[in-house]
Structure 1
């Protein structure tokens, strides 16, 4: 039986996908008084954002362990759904980072704003680049800006142009880590528009970073019960219809067809699923869009979380983690010590470490993680437990020209069908929240303009 057979009732907006983008869209429609139906293919809401709390007291994140506060959208939503009292921030007393270069763990440079040094002396003293590479890096302040243009460029092109070729090995682990990206393909316009703007406004990232005040207060935010608290809190306050285990087969201008052939009628559709799921759904109703969406690429990564007794690791684990120089030639890209970075992530006298890899199968990544924790941190025994975050083929690539492709995708759809989320408009949780709420507001405006009742 189709939903809303009684056409005297306003048709709902159909939201496809119950990750952070879809949940945020549902919440915004609810605030706007627009009826909606949210359809999620799996049995869980939250998408990648998932927290496991074990019986023996470990709190394990499947994906993000925190979100950035510089983009206010996720923190604002958390306040709206009553999570403000649950907010926590990375610990200041363990705010220690290392940089693995030449097989040696070095102190991460101090006094940086992301990867830009706020004073020359601290960066020179760090030794993360050769003396020649360091001076070329600091000379960025004298490199003239590229003439203003609409033409996109890759992260690698931008970094080499402004900071020199050796700088790429230092900057890529910091800047491209969240995208698990090939720096020679990653779009600056899509991933780092703020740096392009700073180049134009100040002529230099070093000059711009030093001229603008550093934000006060915490930079990141999480929750006492883990990141899964956010989708859980949103879901608990949704009053519209939410259907789990309901895969969508096809999207139409007037609704969707779900597995089993049922047609769910709607006044609009918000497609909040990754590109690799969206393209097949669009193939019949919107073949041009399906082709454009299908051209978006994805990258792969695997995260392995390991639990140890504190006594079984020689290294001082009061640190947030380490980054790996891009030229190191090992699959390990970064390591986070969750038990020290955020409170309440492991029982007393235990350590929780997460290792990030590119180009490995999960089992190989596990063995590599154990080996690297032993080599770098002096682990004397096998881990007590381990968990996987398997994101093979599931990290949006944002290749050069991404924003132009996104505009073509949007132009190929009618006003009452929207598409957005991590594959399209930003991979971080704040970006997903903003995408969902923005699409919901756009749909509400379209419906109001066309006289569709809500």
Structure 2
């Protein structure tokens, strides 16, 4: 998505480009499959957030506005698995921050003592202003108490599949650090700022794969699929087959684990720094069932799992209820997320947990994998400083960005691609 966005921006500015894609499909992790049975399967993201406008803006530019859909309001119910019980997820939250003390107390997602410590965050003084980074765990425990970590981590760290003791607040959640400084408290700040009106997330009728497909259909520059880049040089790239392609600027929109080898000859210092970036692992298993074979009321968006529950399952999303058009009538589509398991082990756990928690009486009709072992960027404490060193080690005409570096969400990737393209254009204008 980062590379597609960069190419689109260059095209908008009438700048010639060549886009190299190692695989046969554009879009990276954003991939949608329509199974023969009529199930719409998302390999990774099923929607993107609208609070960051970059992806929605790009969708409008490529003509997808009429295809936009949003999570269903009539099935907007979540559960929280704690102590082996499915509890109603607290209402009146802004992400994980309660806007109403009493509804949070009534939820039971924390012990009475943990609940009161959580709500007392409003009285915890802010950390003195500092440039020093801290982990998500440090921030949560400092502001909300140790027990709160089990509730907040599934919400806040889920998209990063992250160890909360390593995840950088500056890189992942700078808005919370700012709110702490501006209002002295996340609870106070959340209650003082109005909630955005309208939907929070957006997807497309034909799935998330519609976005890269629509961009690709409108690209008029040279696009070369199944063309891995072997090396990046100050004046171009060498392809895996040995062909050298020259260019005035290079934009690397690839994960760190691919970027480091590409940079090893031309930019050894950068390659070492990029190679130090770590990644986490996850596996998503999507299961299809007949509606009659599941006892639980499946008119819900899904469930989150308390971080102390001690099971590999981290969350479930009921795609058939969350978004229209994801399963044929009378069927259910459930996606289960795991950390630390191989795909087949994850499948067995998924079947077991859907049976245990939702009362599935039969085996699933079919299943699909999203195998992201070693492919979830890990923004460790100090990530932004490390990123600055990476960029400083490169000449101005070589840019690097994307999910490994500047945000894992689709809007972040779109913004990264377009920003790098604009930086190249500024350089081009200065040299003209």
TM bucket (normalised to shorter chain) is: over 0.9
TM-score, normalising length from structure 2?
0.99
How many angstroms apart in 2 are the aligned matches of 1:336 and 1:160?
28
TM-score, normalising length from structure 1?
0.94
Alignment CA distance shift 1:321-1:449 (3 Å): closer
Asked if structure 2 preserves the Cα contact closer than 8 Å seen for 1:267 and 1:452, the reply is no
How many angstroms apart in 2 are the aligned matches of 1:127 and 1:450?
58
How far off its partner does 1:278 sit?
Answer: 0.1
Q: Which runs of 5+ in 1 are unaligned?
A: 1-19
How do residues 116-155 of structure 1 correspond to structure 2 at under 5 angstroms?
116-155=97-136
Please list the CA deviations of residues 69-98 of structure 1 after superposition, one character each: whole Å capped at 9, or x if unmatched.
000000000000000000000000000000
Q: Which runs of 5+ in 2 are unaligned?
A: none
How far off its partner does 1:451 sit?
Answer: 5.6
How many angstroms apart in 1 are the aligned matches of 2:94 and 2:426?
44
Alignment CA distance shift 1:125-1:414 (3 Å): same
Name the SS of the counterpart of 1:387 in structure 2. strand
Query: Aligned-pair RMSD on alpha carbons?
Result: 1.0
How far off its partner does 1:448 sit?
Answer: 5.3
Structure 1 outlier segments of 4+, above 6 Å = none
How far off its partner does 1:56 sit?
Answer: 1.6
1:301 aligns with 2:279: no
Name the SS of the counterpart of 1:451 in structure 2. helix
Asked if structure 2 preserves the Cα contact closer than 8 Å seen for 1:269 and 1:418, the reply is yes
How far off its partner does 1:453 sit?
Answer: 8.7
How many angstroms apart in 2 are the aligned matches of 1:173 and 1:448?
41
Alignment CA distance shift 1:328-1:236 (3 Å): same
Q: 1:43 aligns with which of 2, 11, 24?
A: 24
How far off its partner does 1:434 sit?
Answer: 0.2
1:286 aligns with 2:286: no
Name the SS of the counterpart of 2:232 in structure 1. strand
Please list the CA deviations of residues 19-46 of structure 1 after superposition, one character each: whole Å capped at 9, or x if unmatched.
x000000000000111000000001001
How many angstroms apart in 1 are the aligned matches of 2:45 and 2:347?
19
How many angstroms apart in 1 are the aligned matches of 2:429 and 2:103?
61
How far off its partner does 1:447 sit?
Answer: 5.1
How far off its partner does 1:187 sit?
Answer: 0.1
How many angstroms apart in 2 are the aligned matches of 1:34 and 1:290?
28
Asked if structure 1 preserves the Cα contact closer than 8 Å seen for 2:150 and 2:308, the reply is yes
Please list the CA deviations of residues 306-332 of structure 1 after superposition, one character each: whole Å capped at 9, or x if unmatched.
000000000000000000000000000
Asked if structure 1 preserves the Cα contact closer than 8 Å seen for 2:396 and 2:427, the reply is no
How many angstroms apart in 2 are the aligned matches of 1:122 and 1:56?
41
How far off its partner does 1:54 sit?
Answer: 1.3
Name the SS of the counterpart of 1:344 in structure 2. coil
How many angstroms apart in 1 are the aligned matches of 2:97 and 2:352?
32
Name the SS of the counterpart of 1:301 in structure 2. strand
How far off its partner does 1:55 sit?
Answer: 1.9
Asked if structure 2 preserves the Cα contact closer than 8 Å seen for 1:447 and 1:453, the reply is no
How many angstroms apart in 2 are the aligned matches of 1:396 and 1:53?
27
Alignment CA distance shift 1:315-1:416 (3 Å): same
How many angstroms apart in 1 are the aligned matches of 2:113 and 2:141?
14
